[in-house]
A and B are shown apart, each in its own frame.
Chain A
Amino acid sequence: KAGVTQTPRYLIKTRGQQVTLSCSPISGHRSVSWYQQTPGQGLQFLFEYFSETQRNKGNFPGRFSGRQFSNSRSEMNVSTLELGDSALYLCASSFQGGGTGELFFGEGSRLTVL
């Protein structure tokens, strides 16, 4: 079956702009989690959605937001971009979520903020 699909794969933005990233989970998976990966901070949890509801949220400012649609596809948005937002944004889907069970990661969206 198809894996987790993230779009776009690469993007370049300037400070102050906003960006929307998309994630299509594996068919049948209702949980979608988002992580920010940077060389210095590792994998940082952003949020998890399950059946269109935000189940958990990490310690990121309100500029980072997300949502999940009825077909389980998820989007995350970052507004008023800062240089420090440059990172690889990874989406992961799972059947159960909630910290239990295998996460299937997408290839990621690499964001560069200039």
Chain B
Amino acid sequence: GQQVMQIPQYQHVQEGEDFTTYCNSSTTLSNIQWYKQRPGGHPVFLIQLVKSGEVKKQKRLTFQFGEAKKNSSLHITATQTTDVGTYFCAGPSGNEKLTFGTGTRLTIIP
């Protein structure tokens, strides 16, 4: 079945440093979604990318969808303590089942 892997699994950064998480799917995706889950919370939708090579920005967050629509990345510029949490990518398989990536847990060192 479809597998969606994310690297790294954990990332510790100093406040103010940049952060990037990478998402790779074993199959081509019709779209890629990104979610953030704060500690003790539930996943919250960040964005959906649909087009090959698409790049979208939300303030300090930049999302990219690969040309082959099998990979994606999330980059955070100048991290802040509010960025703490686990970031998940998610993409639908051929039968439209939304599969979540393994997640990247970001911790910020003040």
Contacts and interface: CB of A to CB of B under 8 A. Distances in A.
Contacts of A33: 98
Contacts, number: 61
A105 B42 CA distance: 6
A43 B87 CA distance: 12
A58 B82 CA distance: 33
Contact of A45 (B42, B43, B44, B98): B98
B91 interface: yes
Interface extent on B, as a size class?
20 to 34
B3 to A, nearest CB: 11
A72 to B, nearest CB: 18
Interface in B73-110: 88, 90-93, 95-103
Contacts of B93: 99
Given A42-B103, A59-B1, A102 B97 contact: no
A91 B96 CA distance: 17
Instruction: Indicate the member of B31, B45, B90, B97 with the most A CB atoms within 10 Å.
Output: B97
Interface of A: 33, 35, 42-43, 45, 48, 55-56, 58-59, 90, 92, 97-108
Interface of B: 1, 30-31, 33, 35, 41-45, 48, 88, 90-93, 95-103
